[in-house]
Amino acid sequence: MNFEHATQFSCSRAKIILTLSNRWRQDHGYPLLQGGDVYAFNALMLQLFHIFGEMYHEQLEGHLDARLWGEVELPMRDVIGAPGVQAWWRKYSRWFSEEFANYVNQLQQPDAHQ
């Protein structure tokens, strides 16, 4: 997946993701969503985090310009900060590399947003 496709995905789905994610319970991470909304939210989160993970590793390897990485990381910090996204991440972060999971966990810390 190239950056243009990733950006189009992110822009067209951002409102859906944030709307759905805010309907997840913060305390237990159990979905308040019903039926197809649960599957849609899971699919969107999985795709978004795989795109973010791929770009994270590309910037670590020096294949992604630092300026571009800044434009990717900042909006992801906001998305990761949503309670529903955090609940999803607690449940599914094991699907990703330990290195990337640690990075995302670090972004969730309050002092990481300064």
Rounded mean pLDDT, 80-97: 89
Residue 96 backbone zone (phi > 0: left; psi -120 to 50: alpha; other: beta): beta
Per residue in 53-63, pLDDT (tens digit) is: 999 999 999 99
The reply to whether the predicted model has a pTM over 0.85 is: no
Residue 35 backbone zone (phi > 0: left; psi -120 to 50: alpha; other: beta): left
Task: Express as a percent the part of the chain with pLDDT over 70.
Answer: 65
| pLDDT at residue 59 in the model | 93
Query: With 60 as the cut, is the pLDDT of residue 11 above it?
Result: no
